[in-house]
Homo-oligomer: A and B are copies of this chain.
């Protein structure tokens, strides 16, 4: 992997890396923020998964995550949301194809050759980060926004020993039951509902709740809340299975980074204190 840009900020270092991925078969970019506390030894690490249309840049530039990470002494890794390139399948919709990887392994053509974002993040990028950055692999957590909140919750529930803490901003909580998820799953996975369940936090939490306390913040004026996010399905399943969680609704807040940045410090603290 090669540093494209290294920037001093908030007392630490932000680096944008580029590398050839063997998993996605494409050139991938991600951003890593190493806080000043890393000068004294390995620091915990928070993975942030972005939403539809985003890259590493959205949360790094607009999320307030650098200030929070520097304050709480935690590294941040912000991957891209899909493979990209002229040779990679795409779609005219903002909610499918490039920028919309949904953190799953597609089984259907033309998506299957490149769309494997869960494997990419969990295996390949995980190994690169462990090998090269001053993070403590035993203290990692995961968070994300919208489609990335879905990614964070599913990766945590499937790999609770890797991502020990979990939170989400306005996540797609039950993708099998909303238009965004139904569209993506149908195209990437066809109609095999067993596969759908493996990427649905509300299904996963039924069969394999984690020991973590999942923190979810949600804008009450989020334009996608009723149709797409479906927290009622997740809450019912979590209550049944005994998954500990907090879901807070915030009056007036929408789905944007003006919402995410408002609650970022709370989330980073949640991870830093538990790791």
Contact = CB atoms under 8 A, between A and B. Distances in A.
Given A61-B61, A61-B62, A61-B257, A221 B67 contact: no
Nearest to A257: B61
A11 B262 contact: yes
Contacts of A250: 8
* Dominant SS among interface residues on chain A: mixed
Copies in the complex: 2
A17 interface: no
A261 to B, nearest CB: 7
A113 interface: no
Contact of A67 (B8, B64, B251): B64
Interface in A133-180: none
Nearest to A259: B9
Contact of A258 (B7, B64, B258): B7
A41 to B, nearest CB: 21
Given A7-B254, A8-B219, A10-B261, 8 more contacts: A7-B256, A8-B254, A9-B253, A9-B261, A9-B262, A61-B61, A61-B257, A64-B67
5 contacts: A61-B61, A61-B62, A66-B258, A66-B262, A67-B67
Interface of A: 7-11, 14, 61-62, 64, 66-67, 219, 221, 250-254, 256-259, 261-262, 265
